[in-house]
Structure 1
Amino acid sequence: MKKNTFYFLLLVLVISLMAACSDNRTNTQVAATADAKSEDQDKGVATEMKLVKDGKLTFAMSGLLKPLNYKENQELVGFDVEIGKEISKRIGLEANPVTNPWETIIQGLRGNKYDAIIGSMTATEERSKQVDFSIPYYVSGATVFISSENKDIKTVEDLKGKTIGVMQASTYVEDAKKYTDKIKEFPSEIYALQDLPPGRLDAVITDRIVGISAMQESGLKIQALGEVIKREEIAVAINKDNEVLLEAINKAIEEMVEDGTYKEISMKWFGKDLLE
């Protein structure tokens, strides 16, 4: 009787162990299947993105806009670059930042030289005729800068007839036309700002962040003339036939803001949240 009881209990134990192993295998298989399905979905989305290079998000900038995007030891760095790298990571792609002259940067995008422009481009109605824009990844404003020694220009009304410097093919060209027809265009705002102290320019219209950073980083003896003259939303530009990529980038930006990653990057470069 005792022997039969022993064999019965042993049989129950064996069956229980077999059931547990089966459950573990089932759970492992389910997890593996889910992972594989997720990976396949990611690959499918990446395929639909119409990327210039498989597995990479190639995004362009001028590389001349410190601290937003510039070269340090032959490597592209800056706020725009970090934002681009974070977006790339979140949509499962390798970041591939590149440079292109600003005056032809939209043509380069439309010619499929790169997938996106993440280079502090203002989203405007005119540009929207050629490309699509993501939700803003920072908000700034056009600002007038003058030499610290300039005593003649006290308000924007004093800009009438003055020589104003702007970056080529920027929205600031139209802003400058409101005050003067003496406009000098430069490949970079930094070059224009450097012409203020020696008096080669009377004023420069550029992004407020760029001007203030130039004052801090380069020690340029310049000053902002009052508050911003125009609020600007800066966004990622994408070709119009790439809706899947646009949706992925928008989602990535939203997630960055929600989980605090965006604020960390912004605080690192500017000491403030550029979306607030």
Structure 2
Amino acid sequence: MKKEVFAIRLARITFVCILVLSFLALTACSPVKPEGQLTLQRGTFTFAMSGLYKPFNYHETEKGSRLTGFDVDIGKALAKEMGLRPNPVAVPWETIIAGLQMRKYDAIIGSMGITNKRKKAVNFTDPYYRSGAQIFVAKENLSIRSADDLKGKTIGVVKATTFKDVALEYSSDIVEYTSDITALQDLPTGRVDAVITDRAVGLYAMSKMNFLIKDIDTPLTEDEMGIAIHKGDRELRQKLNQALEQIIKDGTYEKISYRYFNRNILRTTTDENNKE
């Protein structure tokens, strides 16, 4: 009887040992993604964006043949500086952070504002441009000269953006749009008195698309846009910051910025005024 009990116990111990050893073996063989694995091991810098935010990132043709825009050009310049091949990809904005956390790409270069909430999920590089909520009106409009003149006026904004919250501080008469371009196009028609949108988007429409609009006063807010990376990629963050510093120093950044906006969008409004 004692021998049978001993045999059963021995069998159980052996079984447990086998399970533990199997677990350890599987763990040791499981691929663990080290810092910057996608970039450093494959030689390709894959960066994500929505592809729906002209002029920052968008498809060059209606068929969506190629991603282009300010974000894309900055990403390519950074990749070149780091000795890597650029690979821009378009993904839905609502899942873009989740994709980064799952390491589907190395970084997000998609005009993402640096916020405390986002910092809990990702790390950011130094800002690669500065913008903010800007008031735009029709070029011939003389009744709106500052934010105080927005009271009671009809203001256009894009749906589900922070610009609506800003607009509601001045007026309850809000018209919502699906795109910034459509909203800005409505200014000369008189459907809306003003549009509040990203400063750089409006400046692009003025300088490159010849919209008959103008910006009013200084931005209502000032936001810094950063390149988002995985929380664990400290080495990649350092490399990106170094590359960003270099393309700013050698004039590459300013060349790209002037291509789209006829000005350096890394500078703040205060910087521009002091320069003038």
- TM > 0.5 fold call: yes
CA distance in 2 between counterparts of 1:170 and 1:111 reads: 26
Aligned counterpart for 1:205 among listed residues 176, 186, 196 = 196
CA contact (8 A) 1:102 1:168 kept: no
- CA-to-partner distance for each residue in 1:64-85, whole Å, 9 max, x for gaps? 3333222224222222111101
> Is 1:82–2:69 an aligned residue pair?
no
- CA-to-partner distance for each residue in 1:212-258, whole Å, 9 max, x for gaps? 21123322222212222222222111232322222221111112223
| Structure 2: runs of 5+ lacking an equivalent | 1-32, 268-276
- CA-to-partner distance for each residue in 1:146-204, whole Å, 9 max, x for gaps? 22354543321232344433345544343223224454554532232223233343322
CA distance in 2 between counterparts of 1:113 and 1:196 reads: 40
Could you tell me the percent identity over the aligned residues? 49
Aligned counterpart for 2:255 among listed residues 257, 264, 267 = 264
Letter in structure 2 aligned against 1:131: V
Aligned counterpart for 1:172 among listed residues 158, 163, 166 = 163
Match of 1:136 in 2: 127
Give 3-state SS (helix, strand or coil) of 1:118's partner: strand
Aligned counterpart for 2:49 among listed residues 55, 58, 61 = 61
CA contact (8 A) 1:117 1:237 kept: yes
The two structures, once aligned, show a CA RMSD in angstroms of 2.9
> Is 1:100–2:117 an aligned residue pair?
no
Match of 1:237 in 2: 228
Q: Please state how far the C-alpha of 1:126 moved relative to its aligned partner.
A: 3.0
Aligned counterpart for 1:48 among listed residues 16, 32, 35 = 35
CA distance in 2 between counterparts of 1:188 and 1:113 reads: 28
Letter in structure 2 aligned against 1:71: H
TM-score by length of 1: 0.71
TM-score by length of 2: 0.71
CA distance in 1 between counterparts of 2:96 and 2:167 reads: 21
> Kindly tell me: are residues 182 and 129 of structure 1, through their superposed partners in 2, closer, same or farther at Cα, counting changes over 3 Å?
farther
Give 3-state SS (helix, strand or coil) of 2:222's partner: strand
Letter in structure 2 aligned against 1:253: L
Aligned counterpart for 2:207 among listed residues 198, 203, 216 = 216
Letter in structure 1 aligned against 2:137: I
CA distance in 2 between counterparts of 1:238 and 1:193 reads: 33
Match of 1:3 in 2: none
CA distance in 2 between counterparts of 1:216 and 1:153 reads: 21
CA contact (8 A) 1:122 1:171 kept: no
| Structure 1: runs of 5+ lacking an equivalent | 1-45
CA contact (8 A) 1:101 1:187 kept: no
CA distance in 2 between counterparts of 1:243 and 1:91 reads: 15
CA distance in 2 between counterparts of 1:244 and 1:131 reads: 14
Match of 1:70 in 2: 58
> Kindly tell me: are residues 202 and 96 of structure 1, through their superposed partners in 2, closer, same or farther at Cα, counting changes over 3 Å?
same
CA distance in 2 between counterparts of 1:201 and 1:113 reads: 41
Letter in structure 2 aligned against 1:142: A
Rg larger in structure: 1
CA distance in 1 between counterparts of 2:262 and 2:208 reads: 14
Match of 1:4 in 2: none
CA contact (8 A) 1:189 1:206 kept: yes
> Kindly tell me: are residues 129 and 174 of structure 1, through their superposed partners in 2, closer, same or farther at Cα, counting changes over 3 Å?
farther
CA distance in 2 between counterparts of 1:212 and 1:172 reads: 16
> Kindly tell me: are residues 151 and 275 of structure 1, through their superposed partners in 2, closer, same or farther at Cα, counting changes over 3 Å?
closer
CA distance in 2 between counterparts of 1:143 and 1:250 reads: 28
Figure out how many residues of one structure are paired with residues of the other and give that number: 231
Give 3-state SS (helix, strand or coil) of 2:127's partner: coil
CA distance in 2 between counterparts of 1:190 and 1:248 reads: 35
